[in-house]
Amino acid sequence: MNRKKDKGFESPRPYKLTHQVVCINNINFQRKSVIGYVELTIFPTVVNLNRIKLNSKQCRIYRVRVNDLEAPFIYNDPTLEVCHHESKQRNLNYFSSAYTAAVSAVDPDAGNGELSIKVPSELWKQGDEMKVLKVYIEFSLDQPKGGLHFVVPDVEGSMAERAAHVFSFGNQNSTRFWFPCVDSYSELCTWKLEFTVDASMVAVSCGDLVETVYTHDMRKKTFHYMLPIPTAAPNISLAVGPFEILVDPYMHEVTHFCLPQLLPLLKHTMSYLHEIFEFYEEILTCRYPYSCFKTVFVDESYVQVSSYASMSIFSTNHLHSGMIIDQTPLSRRFLAQALAQQFFGCFISRMSWSDEWVLKGISGYIYGLYLKKTFGVNEYRHWIKEELDKIVQYELKMGGVLLHPTFSGGKEKDNPTPHLFFSIKHPHTLSWEYYKMFQCKAHLVMRLIENRISMEFMLQVFNKLLSLASTASSQKYQSHMWSQMLVSTSGFLKSISNVSGKDIGPLIKQWVDQSAVVKFFGSFAFNRKRNVLELEIRQDYTSSGTQKYVGPIKVTVQELDGSFNHTLQIEENSLKHDIPCHSKSRRNKKKKIPLMNGEEVDMDLSAMDADSPLLWIRIDPDMSILRKVEFEQADFMWQYQLRYERDVVAQVEAISALEKFPTPASRLALTDILEQDQCFYKVRMQACFCLAKIANSMVSTWTGPPAMKSLFTRMFCCQSCPNIVKTNNFINFQSYFLQKTMPVAIALLRDVQNLCPKEVLHFILDLIKYNDNRKNKFSDNYYRAELIDALTNSLTPAININNEVRTVDNLNTDVRLILEEITRFLNMEKLLPSYRNAITVSCLRAIRMLQRNGHIPSDPILFKSYAQYGHFVDVRIAALEAVVDYTRVDRSSAELQWLLDLVQNDPVHYIKHKILSMLAKNPPFTKAAESSLCNEALVDQLWKLMNSGTAHDWRLRCDVVNLYYALFGLTRPSCLPLPELGLVLNLKEKKAVLNPIIKSDPGPELEEEQHVVIEPALSGVAMAPQSLKRKAETLLCSSPEPGQIMQEEPSAKITVKTREEEDIDMETVHDSQAFIYHHLNMLERPSTPGKEVSSVEHAMLSMPGTPMPLLSKESMSSKHGDHHHHHHHHHHEHKKKKKKHKHKHKHKHKHESKDRDSHAFSNSPASGRSIRSPSLSD
């Protein structure tokens, strides 16, 4: 869609924002509230701007003034309650489309917003002069559930002493949660930010800190920030707390902030940030765009890292001291990610959601370059391989990930991703996992582009984007100049073709405009007579998540005479490819064999097929296609590949292939790799696990000590006493990682009875016993944790004689030993806690494993106590994982309820998110299986959670959708009572009516719904009568709000009109009126009782002599909708009059109690706010 309009950027709004002031005067930690105002400076771009739509959620708005004139406004947020009227649909298709419609209705990229401000008529006349308007909004936030997060530890002392802090967060554009704004990545403006905080606190925000001034009473200070670089509202953030301040010793314009007492850790963690800066600036040949950079480390963070203009917010859990090995690369990676996003994501923003992939792609790609430089090529290639495997696995399982969705027009049926249970039209409707995969795919595609046009050109393109943006950013506001700072898919592709002169159209079409990956199956035969390798490459492009690939593919063949690359063309019908071999099979000659990298090695060729000169074959060795390759070659070829191919990716592939060949030769090859310290450590780690698997497959013929045991002894134990491990010295990280991993793998060994051999268990217990870290420079916490994991791995199911209760007395002796270790470790953790409580985490997992294997009684109480708020987050998640597992195994509804309560009430957003994703990953039941847990109450609870309970957090809502999908699938949950069948026909009618009204894309989903509905679902229409009643009641009860007054008359008019048209069956005027609103809501989804909004539409319409070019489309459609609607009623009533009567009444009785429930729920804070929201207008 965007590709066509490459000339500049067309704003969806009738005005252009140029500057915004955000002033927060008061932050109250005790009450968790915030008071402030914003002032937006806007230039109308139409002649008569009479309405301004802004985004705002949660905010209590006190007054709005436009150029010092009080302006009436309406606050309406349809996402608060997605499906109204307690609809009994209960199926995801219905919800998804409704939710998408609701998000669209407030989508700033479509010019919409929750807050609609009527420009005072006095200002209209100035229209032709295009005068600047200043919109001033006073607002407050009280105990925000989204947008801002308060962390207030419950200890003695002042707020500063308690390390209380607050910071902004959100999924994608979520700034509207904490101040009114145009919450779009494409609306840039300059900023002035003022925060008045307690004198003991620091307020960190975007841009330059101009000055800090005391208030008159000297109790507070005000931080004044200026951000002269045009920035989108979603990139604005704030963090306030009693932070310790560290000026980066290498770069004085960079400042780091952490919570009290953590300064030493901060110093260590930040000691290499300057290297990342230097790296990016060098490759991009561009200076860091902002004049300063701030990093803030906060507790209870929403995500691990989030980037905003000139600042990044990290989880405080990434801080570490110099003694910690494992965290170091992780923290560096997060820093590098954050910084990459500063360039692409914050400084350069995007035109629309469908251009997001460019930003994520570029930032992910340059982050990859940093990884390559810092951690080496092996690490980089290994990472690419992992990422590729991840995306391939996801797409094959879930269906494709589409980077650049195009929604041509709006209400068409061509949903680009019909295979998904959510819409990808908005970032806020995406499942979190999908979004992660989206980012993963984006950077892989960037790498593909690099393969095509070379890295040099690639970096030139980035440089071009950056320099254009920085030129634009230094300009004062001119029309469209700032849009140079927005990247679009078309703009990006255009610069690629300008810079490189190459056409990457097919590549983009394949991977960006189209979802799914390629699945190859390869096999070969060697034709001795012709000395030709006959390679067959087949594709599976019919199963979900796959697509057909046509084009070049590289194949590398290692022959006796050397390594040869061949480029084959994959075409429509050719499966077989003949590749001429260079060497005759002549293995008698003792000659070194040249490898791809020029190295020449001696090989023992005795394992080879005497007739063939082929050592191994690789398909697409450079990973230049997003693919999965299943290639068949003989086991000895995989072994040669593992031993002699120098590419880590090839080694990794060989190892996973060798799992299927449990032979002594495979064993030898793996052992050799394990011993070779030249080999990349992650390959060796993987070899450990493969060796364990092979050993288990070969258990009956295995000779010698358990696999890897003697190897471990040789590498890590004392020479004089081989049963004692050397005192720890982790100075060599490769061997550290190996030492950590080997016991975990060894513990997976099983003997003929499928038990862990005693020898192995005692070996691990000895490792624990003799572990001595006194002389080590590094902490051994992760090592000890992995030793506990090893113990966990050694567990096998208990032999359970006639279901006896597990007691201490009948505890297996080996298990007793294990349990003793675990008890001691867990208790020691209370006295000497390890870094990130890694040991507690492992212990909890071990205990759950003991329970699951029936060694100790299954009981969630312990885990529940560790899952409480107040434990370290890793511990909580480990404990929750155990509870989730318990819920599934024991089918405990009490625990499920407990978990869901936590989802609703826990103060930490990340924990809520994790609970839901763990539940979705390990669901207590699925659609396929019958379960006592699956009942109506649960469906109701989840539905309410999804419908209105999670309106404050986009991510959480999508998590609930995810869980709902995992439990019930797309259709109506089977545990719900069957709906009356007589409504089916109504449904069809309804669909015909609804389609034009819902401007968003119900598309095929709705179509499907129709089919689905035939069996279980209830239609909205069917429910209408009694929901109407409720609606009507609500309307009657709620005293008219001030905002309503001005619309009194038009709405009455409508009523009259309706009465005329609607001649049948509707009980009261109110009912019919509400019924209409119900359908109108499909358009606007107001959460405030329908009346205001829809009547506003009409009010606007009926205002004489008001030209409304922008509104006309909308109002037309609603009118249209009305018409159809009534039409439908006539039609339908005539036909089905009698039937409907019957069913309707039945229904009423049946669901009366439900209705009351829903009514109560709608008074919950989330939805209640909308009803009581102060839509004042004087």
Partner 1 sequence: MADSAVMGSGSLNSGNRSAASKTSTSPSENYQLARRRTLQVVISSLLTECGFESAEKAAVETLTEMMQSYISEVGRCARANCEHTARSTPTLSDVVITLVEMGFNVDTLPAYAKRSQRMVITAPPVTNASVVPKALMTGQKRTHPPHIPSHFPEFPDPHTYIKTPTFREPVSDYQVVREKAASQRRDVERALTRFMAKTGETQSLFKDDISAFPLIAARPNSIPYLSALLPSELELQMLEETDSSEQDDQTDTENNPNNMIQDDQGADKENAVLPPGGGVPAGKPSEENMIDNPYLRPVKKPKVRRKK
Span 787-846, contacts to partner 1 by CB under 8 A: 805-809, 819-820, 823-824, 826-828, 830-833, 835-837
- In the list 287, 413, 777, 1148, the residue contacting partner 1 (rule: CB under 8 A) is 777
Using a 10 angstrom Cβ sphere, with 0-12 exposed, 13-18 middle and 19 or more buried, the burial of residue 985 is: middle
| Residues 337, 329: Cα–Cα separation, whole Å | 12
Interface with partner 1, residue 922, by CB under 8 A: no
Cβ proximity to partner 1, 590 vs 775, nearer residue: 775
Which of 238-246, 503-511, 753-761, 1149-1157 is the region at the interface with partner 1 (rule: CB under 8 A)? 238-246
| Residues 489, 6: Cα–Cα separation, whole Å | 9
- In the list 111, 127, 322, 1016, the residue contacting partner 1 (rule: CB under 8 A) is 322
Cα four-point dihedral sign 611, 615, 621, 626: positive
Shortest distance (Å) from residue 763 CB to partner 1: 15
Which of 201-209, 750-758, 1049-1057, 1134-1142 is the region at the interface with partner 1 (rule: CB under 8 A)? 201-209
Quickly list H helices, 645-708.
648-658, 664-675, 681-697
| Residues 1055, 175: Cα–Cα separation, whole Å | 38
Place of tokens 């030249």: 678
Cβ proximity to partner 1, 209 vs 1069, nearer residue: 209
Cβ proximity to partner 1, 720 vs 802, nearer residue: 720
| Residues 455, 949: Cα–Cα separation, whole Å | 48
Shortest distance (Å) from residue 265 CB to partner 1: 6
Measured CA distances, 1044 to 258, 1047, 1088 (Å): 48, 5, 11
- In the list 10, 26, 122, 245, the residue contacting partner 1 (rule: CB under 8 A) is 245
- In the list 1, 21, 130, 246, the residue contacting partner 1 (rule: CB under 8 A) is 246
Cα four-point dihedral sign 869, 871, 873, 879: negative
Interface with partner 1, residue 30, by CB under 8 A: no
Nearest to 486 by CA among 191, 285, 230: 230
Cβ proximity to partner 1, 324 vs 939, nearer residue: 324
| Residues 857, 852: Cα–Cα separation, whole Å | 9
Cβ proximity to partner 1, 688 vs 847, nearer residue: 847
Nearest to 203 by CA among 186, 181, 220, 227: 220
Interface with partner 1, residue 317, by CB under 8 A: yes
Place of tokens 């090529």: 377
Shortest distance (Å) from residue 758 CB to partner 1: 20
Shortest distance (Å) from residue 847 CB to partner 1: 7
Shortest distance (Å) from residue 806 CB to partner 1: 7
Nearest to 1070 by CA among 1088, 1089, 1044: 1089
Which of 2-10, 522-530, 698-706, 720-728 is the region at the interface with partner 1 (rule: CB under 8 A)? 720-728
Shortest distance (Å) from residue 865 CB to partner 1: 5
Shortest distance (Å) from residue 819 CB to partner 1: 6
Residues in the interface with partner 1 (CB under 8 A) total 95
Cβ proximity to partner 1, 218 vs 610, nearer residue: 218
Cβ proximity to partner 1, 862 vs 1108, nearer residue: 862
Place of tokens 């997992």: 845
- In the list 263, 715, 985, 1176, the residue contacting partner 1 (rule: CB under 8 A) is 263
Interface with partner 1, residue 267, by CB under 8 A: yes
Interface with partner 1, residue 212, by CB under 8 A: yes
Cβ proximity to partner 1, 164 vs 340, nearer residue: 164
Interacting positions 297-316 with partner 1 (CB under 8 A): 299, 316
Cβ proximity to partner 1, 855 vs 1132, nearer residue: 855
Kindly report the number of other CB atoms within 10 A of residue 278's CB atom. 12
Place of tokens 């494993």: 849
User: What is the amino acid identity at position 191?
Assistant: W
Shortest distance (Å) from residue 841 CB to partner 1: 10
Structure tokens at 41: 């400076």
Shortest distance (Å) from residue 851 CB to partner 1: 8
Interface with partner 1, residue 218, by CB under 8 A: yes
Measured CA distances, 115 to 105, 182, 273, 873, 1061 (Å): 11, 10, 41, 37, 32
- In the list 349, 639, 779, 1073, the residue contacting partner 1 (rule: CB under 8 A) is 779
Q: What is residue 3's three-state secondary structure? A: coil
- DSSP category for residue 470: H
Which of 96-104, 202-210, 552-560, 756-764 is the region at the interface with partner 1 (rule: CB under 8 A)? 202-210
Cβ proximity to partner 1, 61 vs 160, nearer residue: 160
- In the list 34, 309, 319, 961, the residue contacting partner 1 (rule: CB under 8 A) is 319
Q: Following DSSP, what letter does each residue of 355-410 receive, concatenated?
A: GHHHHHHHHHHHHHHHHHHHH-HHHHHHHHHHHHHHHHHHHHHH----SS----SS
Q: What string marks each residue from 383 to 422 as x (binds partner 1 by CB under 8 A) or -? A: ----------------------------------------
Q: What string marks each residue from 96 to 135 as x (binds partner 1 by CB under 8 A) or -? A: ----------------------------------------
Shortest distance (Å) from residue 911 CB to partner 1: 12
Cβ proximity to partner 1, 210 vs 1103, nearer residue: 210
Using a 10 angstrom Cβ sphere, with 0-12 exposed, 13-18 middle and 19 or more buried, the burial of residue 830 is: exposed
Interacting positions 846-885 with partner 1 (CB under 8 A): 847, 850, 856-857, 859, 861-862, 865-866, 868-874
Which of 228-236, 258-266, 688-696, 989-997 is the region at the interface with partner 1 (rule: CB under 8 A)? 258-266
Cβ proximity to partner 1, 199 vs 377, nearer residue: 199
Interface with partner 1, residue 320, by CB under 8 A: yes
Q: What string marks each residue from 138 to 157 as x (binds partner 1 by CB under 8 A) or -? A: ---------------xxx--
- In the list 610, 721, 752, 1160, the residue contacting partner 1 (rule: CB under 8 A) is 721
Interface with partner 1, residue 498, by CB under 8 A: no
Say if CB 180 and CB 39 are below 8 A apart: no
Cβ proximity to partner 1, 217 vs 1178, nearer residue: 217
Cβ proximity to partner 1, 298 vs 493, nearer residue: 298
| Residues 382, 364: Cα–Cα separation, whole Å | 15
Interacting positions 323-352 with partner 1 (CB under 8 A): 323
Q: What string marks each residue from 680 to 719 as x (binds partner 1 by CB under 8 A) or -? A: --------------------------------------x-
Shortest distance (Å) from residue 159 CB to partner 1: 11
Report long-range pairs for 629-634 (Cβ below 8 Å, ≥24 apart). 629/520, 629/521, 629/522, 630/519, 630/520, 630/521, 630/522, 631/520, 631/521, 631/522, 631/523, 631/657, 632/521, 632/522, 632/523, 632/524, 633/524, 633/657, 634/609
β-strands 254-258, 293-298 pairing: parallel
Interface with partner 1, residue 166, by CB under 8 A: no
Interacting positions 281-300 with partner 1 (CB under 8 A): 292, 299
Report long-range pairs for 1069-1076 (Cβ below 8 Å, ≥24 apart). 1070/1028, 1070/1031, 1070/1032, 1070/1035, 1070/1036, 1071/1025, 1071/1028, 1071/1029, 1071/1032, 1072/1028, 1073/1032, 1074/1028, 1074/1031, 1074/1032, 1074/1035, 1075/1024, 1075/1028, 1076/1122, 1076/1125
Say if CB 108 and CB 55 are below 8 A apart: yes
Measured CA distances, 81 to 835, 1081, 1158 (Å): 42, 11, 11
